[in-house]
């Protein structure tokens, strides 16, 4: 009994399904009540997901903008610190730099939290790298032996019927002797 439990635990620990925990499936029917129209439910879920993502994106943009402003201010204060000689100003500048660095690190933690809690879905899981449409072959790519598909099928059918009639003719000659 213990051996089976250990074996089962070892076997189950070999598979790590945690990478699928953050995937949102848009057509997941498990959470849809039977009295609710499925298409309406899917539209509502999609709309709420899109609104949540837009809200997160707006918050990320604000955080990034504030981060850049604070980093510029830290750089400016660091430059002033190198130029300043007055001790009172030096301490005030160092204190402001310390406060700004704390704020920046808190915002970095918030951005990291967004990335860690990001839900994957059909819209953001994949992206198109190259989109290409080939309508037809150019004259340079065509060889003389290539035929249009319809004509090639007709010729293949004619060849098959010719071979069959030839075999049928040779079979009838062989049976007469």
The packing angle between helices 87-116 and 38-83, to 10°, is 160
Give residue 51's pLDDT band: very low, low, confident or very high (50, 70, 90): very high
Q: What is the pLDDT of residues 52-70, one digit of tens each?
A: 999 999 999 999 999 999 9
Residues whose CB falls within 8 Å of the CB of residue 32, separated by 6 or more in sequence, listed in order:
38, 41
CA-based radius of gyration for the chain: 35
Spatial distance between the Cα atoms of 11 and 71, rounded to a whole number of angstroms? 50
Per DSSP, the residues of 105-141 read HHHHHHHHHHHHTPPB-TTTS---S------S--TTT
Q: How far is CA 142 from CA 126, 145, 149, 150, in A?
A: 35, 8, 13, 16
pTM over 0.85: no
Q: What is the pLDDT of residues 30-45, one digit of tens each?
A: 677 788 888 888 888 8
- Token couple for 4: 């089976």
Higher per-residue pLDDT: 135 or 51? 51
CB 153 within 8 A of CB 161: no
Residues whose CB falls within 8 Å of the CB of residue 78, separated by 6 or more in sequence, listed in order:
97
Q: What is the pLDDT of residues 115-128, one digit of tens each?
A: 888 888 877 887 77
> Of 57, 53, 66, which is closest to residue 121 (Cα–Cα)?
53
What pLDDT does residue 139 have? 60
Spatial distance between the Cα atoms of 76 and 102, rounded to a whole number of angstroms? 17
- The shares of helix, strand and coil residues in the chain, as percent rounded to the nearest 5, are 65, 0, 30
């Amino acid at each position: 009994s213990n051996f089976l439990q250990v074996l089962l635990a070892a076997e189950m620990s070999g598979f790590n399904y945690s990478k699928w925990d953050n995937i949102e499936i848009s057509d997941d029917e498990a959470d849809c009540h039977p009295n609710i129209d499925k298409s309406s439910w899917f539209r509502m879920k999609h709309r709420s997901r899109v609104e949540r993502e837009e809200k997160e994106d707006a918050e990320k943009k604000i955080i990034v903008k504030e981060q850049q402003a604070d980093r510029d201010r830290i750089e400016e204060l660091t430059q002033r610190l190198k130029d300043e000689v007055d001790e009172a100003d030096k301490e005030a500048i160092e204190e402001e730099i310390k406060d700004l660095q704390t704020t920046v690190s808190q915002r970095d933690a918030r951005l990291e939290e967004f990335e860690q809690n990001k839900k994957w879905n059909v819209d953001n899981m994949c992206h198109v790298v190259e989109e290409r449409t080939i309508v037809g072959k150019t004259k340079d790519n065509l060889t003389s032996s290539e035929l249009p598909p319809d004509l090639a099928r007709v010729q293949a059918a004619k060849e098959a019927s010719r071979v069959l009639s030839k075999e049928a003719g040779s079979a009838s000659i062989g049976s007469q002797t």
